[in-house]
Chains A and B, each alone.
Chain A
Amino acid sequence: MADKSTTVEKVIDPIIDLGNLLFVDRDPIEGDALENLATRARNNTQLLFNNIWQLEQKRIDEAITVALPLGTYRIPREKKLPEKKEPTKWEKYAAEKGIVKRKKDKKVFDEVTKEWKPTYGYRRANDPTKDWVIEVPDNAEDPNKDYFAERKEKKKERMAKNEMQRLKNLARQMKTTVKTGPSTEKMIGVGVDAKEKSKQQVRFAVDRAKISTASAGKFQEGLKGEKKNIKTGKKRKFEANEAPVSSEKERSMKILQTMKAKKAKIIEEKASAVAGPIADKPKFDPKKRKSTKSEPTRQKSQIHRQTWFKNKVDAKKKGTAGAGKSKGKGKK
């Protein structure tokens, strides 16, 4: 260590942030970076410590201390910024009215026991639940009422109300409404209304209805294009994995054979359907096409019309019969 100098020369001013004890070396890399790395690290550390020594020093109990300045280098935040919570209904109201939260001490002096006790919670001072006696008020309607039970009841109600309000606030923050649960007004055992049923529920209902015949749906015909009931309660069964492969080979060969047989049938049908009209049609030939155009086939209706006109002209020449009568003649 002794032979190494404490003065370090840098080509480009490094970034030194003493607050974060950060040193950024901005010199270009020369030669083999791996070899120079150790000496470079030492030099940089030396420079950082040189800067620390230049700070104002204080002696505290034989130890030299310095106060680091505030960090200037902005280090990115580790966690994302907390999302802003929507204020609760009370917080909104308090802000409106300008009500400020007053902090109470955690402990209060209990005059009865002459002791410092927690303000809230277990073993709190001035605990109303620990009263051994409650005075019956003068204007009491029913002096024999259990005032302890009433107090407990009221406490429970307050807790329930608070919980409800808390949930409502949560729902408001999440922009939803509190679900009120199953209504007591609805009829029990009637089931979901048909219009409100999901696709799956309808599917199940249909499946259930189909097997609800005397023969357990054995003779129930499905509609055209209707899906088969998949959930019949039967468990799927697979062949054993460890069985000898030779039997499996046979099985798959059999499947292949049946597939082939089926395939041949389809191809034959298709082939006949496709091949039929092609064989009847004359082959496409540009020379032939012209010839066919010159003498088009005479259709029956055309012949009929021609004879009708011929008869009409004949009748006019003779001047005796109308077209209606001659039509009959023509047919003969």
Chain B
Amino acid sequence: MRPLTEEETSLVFAKLASFIGDNVSMLIDRNDGDYCFRNHKERVYYCSENLMRQAACIAREPLLSFGTCLGKFTKTKKFHLQITALDYLAPYAKYKVWLKPNAEQQFLYGNNILKSGIGRMTEGTPTHAGIVVYSMTDVPLGFGVSAKGTADSKRADPTALVVLHQCDLGEYLRNEAHLN
């Protein structure tokens, strides 16, 4: 376990900012105590200082997880968010999309979202922006990248891809072994 280096921090923040914009500062500076980001086995964990100090007592090898795993660094040093980060993305999300009930399962099985599946979408979403996916009952289901902005998607035909899938709640079942 170690603090993130400068490059790592900027990579993580850039990725988070694509979803929650300036609200990244809300994760860094919190009212309810000190929270920190830690790199452990190329995974980035977000946890309270107290928890971090307790976890630091455990050696690197046996320590499996602590706090919330936001994502991981690939071997080429790119940062990928994981579904476990959804808890922190959903409340601050800048761009949201609400799915129709019949498109929910499609998304939860790891498929991209077509225009026909979209019930509602935040106005003014640009293309290639991080977007959090909700069900019509406002339950966050996952997140992805907008393939088309709001304006473009209005004109697009119903089979056009609007949101490219990145993570969904189904991964808790599908990729259980890889999440921690």
Interface residue B24 (Cβ < 8 Å from any Cβ of A): yes
In the bound complex, do residue A256 and residue B13 qualify as a contact, i.e. CB atoms below 8 Å apart? yes
Residues of B contacting A246 in the complex (Cβ-Cβ under 8 angstroms): 34
CA distance A330 to B34 in the complex (A): 84
Interface residue A202 (Cβ < 8 Å from any Cβ of B): no
In the bound complex, do residue B28 and residue A239 qualify as a contact, i.e. CB atoms below 8 Å apart? no
> Among B3, B13, B14, B22, which residue has the most Cβ atoms of chain A within 10 A?
B3
In the bound complex, do residue B34 and residue A249 qualify as a contact, i.e. CB atoms below 8 Å apart? yes
Interface string of B1-38 (1 = CB under 8 A from A): 11101100110011001000010110011000011111
In the bound complex, do residue B3 and residue A238 qualify as a contact, i.e. CB atoms below 8 Å apart? yes
Interface residue A321 (Cβ < 8 Å from any Cβ of B): no
In the bound complex, do residue A241 and residue B28 qualify as a contact, i.e. CB atoms below 8 Å apart? no
Interface residue B53 (Cβ < 8 Å from any Cβ of A): yes
Specify the chain A residue showing the minimal Cβ separation from B37.
A252
Interface residue B56 (Cβ < 8 Å from any Cβ of A): yes
In the bound complex, do residue A238 and residue B29 qualify as a contact, i.e. CB atoms below 8 Å apart? no
Residues of A contacting B152 in the complex (Cβ-Cβ under 8 angstroms): none
Q: Which of A241, A253, A259 contacts B29 (CB 8 A)?
A: A253
Residues of A contacting B22 in the complex (Cβ-Cβ under 8 angstroms): 260
The residues in B between 29 and 59 inclusive whose CB is less than 8 angstroms from any CB of A are 29, 34-38, 49, 52-53, 56
Considering only CB atoms and an 8 Å cut-off, how many residues of chain A contact the other chain?
A: 19
CA distance A242 to B24 in the complex (A): 23
Residues of A contacting B35 in the complex (Cβ-Cβ under 8 angstroms): 245
CA distance A251 to B8 in the complex (A): 13
Tell me if B's interface is mostly helix, strand, loop or mixed. Answer: helix
CA distance A255 to B1 in the complex (A): 21
In the bound complex, do residue B3 and residue A241 qualify as a contact, i.e. CB atoms below 8 Å apart? yes
Interface residue A157 (Cβ < 8 Å from any Cβ of B): no
Specify the chain A residue showing the minimal Cβ separation from B33.
A245
In the bound complex, do residue B2 and residue A252 qualify as a contact, i.e. CB atoms below 8 Å apart? no
Q: How close is A59's CB to chain B, nearest CB, in angstroms?
A: 62
Task: Using A248-B3, A249-B28, A256-B28 as known contacts, say yes or no to A242 and B56 having CB atoms under 8 A apart.
Answer: yes
Specify the chain A residue showing the minimal Cβ separation from B35.
A245
In the bound complex, do residue A241 and residue B2 qualify as a contact, i.e. CB atoms below 8 Å apart? yes
In the bound complex, do residue B34 and residue A238 qualify as a contact, i.e. CB atoms below 8 Å apart? no
Residues of B contacting A243 in the complex (Cβ-Cβ under 8 angstroms): 3
Residues of B contacting A251 in the complex (Cβ-Cβ under 8 angstroms): 9
> Among B17, B22, B28, B52, which residue has the most Cβ atoms of chain A within 10 A?
B28
In the bound complex, do residue B3 and residue A239 qualify as a contact, i.e. CB atoms below 8 Å apart? yes
Residues of A contacting B49 in the complex (Cβ-Cβ under 8 angstroms): 245
Residues of A contacting B38 in the complex (Cβ-Cβ under 8 angstroms): 241
Q: Which of B3, B25, B52 contacts A253 (CB 8 A)?
A: B25
In the bound complex, do residue B34 and residue A255 qualify as a contact, i.e. CB atoms below 8 Å apart? no
CA distance A248 to B28 in the complex (A): 9
In the bound complex, do residue B29 and residue A249 qualify as a contact, i.e. CB atoms below 8 Å apart? yes
Residues of B contacting A248 in the complex (Cβ-Cβ under 8 angstroms): 3, 36
In the bound complex, do residue A255 and residue B9 qualify as a contact, i.e. CB atoms below 8 Å apart? yes
Q: How close is B92's CB to chain A, nearest CB, in angstroms?
A: 14
Interface string of A253-267 (1 = CB under 8 A from B): 101100110010000
Interface string of A215-255 (1 = CB under 8 A from B): 00000000000000000000010111111011011011101
CA distance A228 to B3 in the complex (A): 24
Residues of A contacting B25 in the complex (Cβ-Cβ under 8 angstroms): 253, 256
In the bound complex, do residue A238 and residue B13 qualify as a contact, i.e. CB atoms below 8 Å apart? no
Residues of B contacting A263 in the complex (Cβ-Cβ under 8 angstroms): 17
Query: A245-B35, A255-B6, A263-B17 provided; 14 other pairs, C-beta below 8 A?
Result: A236-B5, A239-B5, A241-B1, A243-B3, A245-B34, A249-B28, A249-B34, A252-B37, A253-B25, A253-B28, A255-B9, A256-B13, A256-B25, A259-B17
A interface residue numbers (CB < 8 A to B): 236, 238-243, 245-246, 248-249, 251-253, 255-256, 259-260, 263
Could you list some 22 contacts between A and B, CB below 8 A? A236-B5, A238-B2, A238-B3, A239-B2, A241-B2, A241-B3, A241-B52, A242-B53, A242-B56, A245-B49, A248-B36, A249-B34, A249-B36, A251-B9, A252-B37, A253-B25, A253-B28, A255-B13, A256-B24, A259-B13, A259-B14, A259-B17
